[in-house]
Structure 1
Amino acid sequence: MNTVTFTQMKDGTRDEYLMLGELEDRFVEGLPERILEALKALENTLSGYRVSRLDHVLQSATRAEEDGEDEEMIVAALIHDLGDDLAPHNHSQYAASIIRPYVRAEVTWIIEHHGLFQNYYYIHHFGGDPLERDRYQDHPWYQRCVDFCERWDQASFDPDYPTRPLEHFAPMVRRIFSRPAFDPAYVGDESVRHL
């Protein structure tokens, strides 16, 4: 059996769902390569900056690595703008949803909120409040998100910065996105509660 017979999920048999589960498991194994392909596609996206979106995220990840961050945070810096194409108004939440099943809650929270925190640097030009992020100032990861934006995100538009290539980060992407999804050994109990 290569295809189910049902046209409504409620009519599926156990054997059909077992077959679908096997197909999904094989599909999930390809996630790291699909992430890498999506990152490559950032080369030809949002324009107007002095670097491509791909160069920006590579530079952010390079800066995170230079600062001695762990692999989870480096990969998070690498994928933090992955949602720019499909979710331009909520790209932070999009990227956070991609990485959430594979990393600790702190990393997910920082990626989920970086767009709001990044407003600090420019939103006043559009009449917005650059201090809107301060509603989270009592959150335990507030300062980490401030630092993420200050040290890596807003600073990574420099065409002369010695940026590492995607191939350098590919093994990290493969390790992170090959983890079992929502494994408490990686995500802890906090992320599992967000299912």
Structure 2
Amino acid sequence: MKTVQFKQMKDGTQEEYKFLHAYEDQYAKGLPDRILEALKNLENTLSGYLVTRLEHSLQSATRAEADGADIEMIVAALVHDIGDDLAPYNHSQYAASILRPYVRPEVTWVINQHGLFQNYYYAHFLGGNRNERDYLIDHPWYQSCVDFCEKWDQASFDPDYPTKPLSYFEPLVREVFSREPFDSHYVGNQTMGKSAVDIALSGQV
């Protein structure tokens, strides 16, 4: 079989879906390469800062590593702005959805909320509420997100900071994004069919 025969999904057979699943599984193995390529493309996005978006991402990850963060949080710092091109108004959620199958829920939640928490540094200059994040103040991962933004995100626009190159972080990217998706060893007992992570993403405990 080279292609399925159905023209509507409801007409597919078990054999056809097993065939497609094998293709999709093989394609998914290329995810680390696509993540790295997407990071490289950040070199050409969003002008106006003293560093490129790629340099900002690399610097965030470099700072995270220097502070003793684990591999999941380092990779999260690296990819936290990967959605800027395709999701400029919800880039946090875009990045979180990419990370979700491979990291613990805390990391996913922090990345999902980092755009809101980052508003603390500038929203008041644009007529917004810099403290809007405080509706989540009782969430167990609130401080983790505050620290992510304060120590790594908002601080990483310095062209003179000794930032490590993408090649340095490549092995970490490959390790995280080559994991079995939704493996309970990494993400706990949440699976695609459960809503615990979705509840966490919404800001609820």
If the TM-score is normalised by the length of the shorter chain, which range does it land in? over 0.9
In structure 2, what is the equivalent of residue 20 of structure 1?
A: 20
Q: Summarize the alignment of residues 12-51 of structure 1 with structure 2, pairs less than 5 Å apart.
A: 12-51=12-51
The 8 Å contact of residues 32 and 174 in structure 2, kept in 1 or not, is answered as: yes
Percent sequence identity is 69
Report how far residue 58 of structure 1 moved.
Answer: 0.2
Aligned to 1:76: 76
Q: Secondary structure at the match of 1:17?
A: helix
Aligned to 1:67: 67
Q: Is the 8 A contact 1:100 1:191 kept in 2?
A: no
Aligned counterpart, 2:127: 127
Q: Are the counterparts in 1 of residues 182 and 190 from structure 2 also a CA contact under 8 Å? A: no
Gaps of 5+ in 1: none
Question: Which residue of structure 2 lines up, in the alignment, with residue 94 of structure 1?
Answer: 94
How does the TM-score come out when normalised to structure 1?
0.98
Provide Cα deviations, 1:26-46, integer angstroms capped at 9, x if missing partner. Answer: 100000000000000000011
Higher helix proportion: 1
The one-character-per-residue Cα deviations of 1:49-70 (angstroms, maximum 9, x if unpaired) are: 1100000000000000000000
| One-letter code aligned to 1:47 | S
Distance 1:163 1:126 in 2: 30
User: How many matched pairs?
Assistant: 195
Q: Which runs of 4+ in 1 moved over 3 A?
A: none
Deviation at 1:15, TM superposition (A): 1.3
TM-score by length of 2: 0.93
Q: Which residue of 2 aligns with 1:187?
A: 187
Q: What is the Cα-based RMSD across aligned positions, in Å?
A: 1.0
Q: Where do 5+ consecutive residues of structure 2 fail to align?
A: 199-205
What does residue 172 of structure 1 align with?
Answer: 172
3-state SS of the aligned residue for 2:99?
Answer: helix
Q: Deviations over 1:159-191 (max 9, x none)?
A: 000000000000000000000111111001246
**Aligned partner letter, 2:172:** M
What letter corresponds to residue 106 of structure 2 in structure 1?
A: E
Distance in 1 (alpha carbons) for counterparts of 2:2 and 2:69: 44
Indicate yes or no: 2:183 matched with 1:158: no
2 CA distance for matches of 1:2 and 1:75?
37
2:201 counterpart residue number: none
SS in structure 2 at match of 1:102: coil
Deviation at 1:2, TM superposition (A): 1.4
Counterpart-to-counterpart distance in 1, 2:148 and 2:91: 16
Corresponding residue of 2:5: 5
**Residue type of the alignment partner of 1:124:** H
